[in-house]
Structure 1
Amino acid sequence: MRVPLPALLRTAPRARLQTRAEEMANAASHALACALPLMAWPALAAAAPRHNGALGVAAVAVFCITMVLVFLASAVYHALPHGRAKLWARAVDHAAIYLFIAGSATPFTLGAMSGWSGWAGIATCALLWLLALAGAALKLMRRLTQRRLSTGLYLLLGWCAALAALPGVAALDASALAWLLAGGAAYLVGTAFFVFDTSLRFGHFIWHLFVMAGSGCHLAAALA
């Protein structure tokens, strides 16, 4: 007898499954995207100690690691054929997005771009990570099965991260600020393709391209 899927893997059916061609495009795009943070990490790590010491180095590491994690989880999920393994990978993929959002804000609360001082930055960063871990846990425990609600919570956490980053943003020069805003715009526009990817062929792949663009812009902001 076939064992039923665990509760955390049972989700509401999608309007349309991604075709194999779409999934290969999805997987390839984010597999390539793993190179973005790996290439930027050495330069970011070299500059971090001059700004905020050990906290700056840690913030850069968290930023880059969570970016690699979210792209790697996505690539693995999309590369797998439909079945139990893909469902497990999907849960991890969706949970990793929450960690990536918090990781993207970490340099602005702890690292070189932080406008916070002392324990204020640490407390703000800790709160963001608490929310991110809660969101990831809810995903893995099947408490967020409505796709649009889940997307809304991603955006909510993203805006919380943006507000937490405001003190650091105020200290950015014009080029870094422009890269930061461009990245936010890429994520926001791309969300439309994510929400409607079940009815738009290769819509999810387009969403991936916007995510890659947003991530690249934020790496450029950190390097500016």
Structure 2
Amino acid sequence: MERTKLKDRVLPSYTKGEEIFNMVTHIIGGAMGVVALVLCIIFSALHHDGYALAGSIVYGLSMIILFTMSSIYHGISPKHQIAKKVFQIMDHDTIFVLIAGTYTPILLVTIREADPFWAWMLLAIVWGISILGIVLNSIDIERFKVFSMICYLGLGWCIVFKFNLLLSHMALNGIILLVAGGIAYTVGCIFYKLGDTKKYMHSIWHIWILIGALYHFLTILLYVI
């Protein structure tokens, strides 16, 4: 299959109101990312845990990067087609960054304490697949659209294969928050798909993303770091 050239790619036809809403919701997400970065670093420093500190930095920055790229993408006027298409790619790429970034403190702290081998193995798998997804998205976002969505969901839930390690080393409330965040992201995917044809469905997807990000932030801050 031939690669779709950037100039030939068709952008979603969101209304101005939708794009303003999309931009504002993810500006809020970016602010949450700053709070997450600062608080997680402080908590890690208080606990004198180098792994937690490293995980906190990666996690906080990944959230800031995703929501910043998304806000810029939705904030660019459709008149600037090339710029908007470039940031659309970056928006999709940074979903992989956030998924891997969210896994990082959980694997470096909670799972590593339970089973170091599987912690490092899962970390390598998650980041490896995420990097592959970023490369493929950057080559042709349309051609690999289905593959990317499968990877988003698959990566997000792959922790279930070692769920026993979470059960033995994370408080029940933390597990509930973690699963709730995963469910929020997954439910959001339904609205993401509906956004192709239904007005404001993509905006509702953004709300679900904020909810999922908040639950995972609370999980990491209160039950991981």
Q: Give the TM-score range, shorter chain.
A: 0.7 to 0.9
> Are residue 39 (structure 1) and residue 35 (structure 2) matched?
yes
CA contact (8 A) 1:56 1:107 kept: yes
From the superposition, tell whether residues 169 and 181 of structure 1 become closer, same or farther in structure 2 (CA, over 3 Å). Answer: same
Partner of 1:3: none
Equivalence map 1:52-201=2 (5 Å): 53-82=49-78, 83-111=81-109, 114-142=112-140, 145=143, 147-163=145-161, 167-201=165-199
Structure with greater helix percent: 2
Alpha-carbon shift at residue 154 of structure 1 (Å): 1.3
Runs of 4+ in 1 over 6 A off after TM superposition: none
TM-score under structure 1 length normalisation: 0.86
Question: Residue 48 of structure 1 aligns to which amino acid in structure 2?
Answer: S
Partner of 1:25: 21
From the superposition, tell whether residues 160 and 52 of structure 1 become closer, same or farther in structure 2 (CA, over 3 Å). Answer: farther
| Deviations 1:86-127, CA, capped at 9 Å, x for gaps | 000011111111111111111111135644444542232122
More displaced 10-residue stretch of structure 1: 128-137 or 177-186:
177-186
| Deviations 1:129-180, CA, capped at 9 Å, x for gaps | 1110110010001165254443222112222255467623542212212211
Distance 1:46 1:199 in 2: 44
Question: Residue 66 of structure 2 aligns to which amino acid in structure 1?
Answer: V
Distance 1:211 1:39 in 2: 17
More displaced 10-residue stretch of structure 1: 159-168 or 34-43:
159-168
From the superposition, tell whether residues 168 and 144 of structure 1 become closer, same or farther in structure 2 (CA, over 3 Å). Answer: farther
Alpha-carbon shift at residue 47 of structure 1 (Å): 2.7
> Are residue 9 (structure 1) and residue 6 (structure 2) matched?
yes
Give the unaligned 5+ runs of structure 1. Answer: 1-5
More displaced 10-residue stretch of structure 1: 28-37 or 139-148:
139-148
Distance 2:8 2:143 in 1: 6
CA contact (8 A) 2:166 2:175 kept: no
Give the unaligned 5+ runs of structure 2. Answer: none
Distance 1:149 1:169 in 2: 30
CA contact (8 A) 1:98 1:133 kept: yes
RMSD, matched Cα: 2.5
Q: Percent identity?
A: 25
CA contact (8 A) 2:157 2:182 kept: no
Distance 1:164 1:8 in 2: 41
Distance 2:47 2:8 in 1: 45
From the superposition, tell whether residues 137 and 11 of structure 1 become closer, same or farther in structure 2 (CA, over 3 Å). Answer: farther
Question: Residue 9 of structure 1 aligns to which amino acid in structure 2?
Answer: L
TM-score under structure 2 length normalisation: 0.86
Question: Residue 208 of structure 1 aligns to which amino acid in structure 2?
Answer: H
SS in 2 for 1:201: coil
CA contact (8 A) 1:113 1:222 kept: no
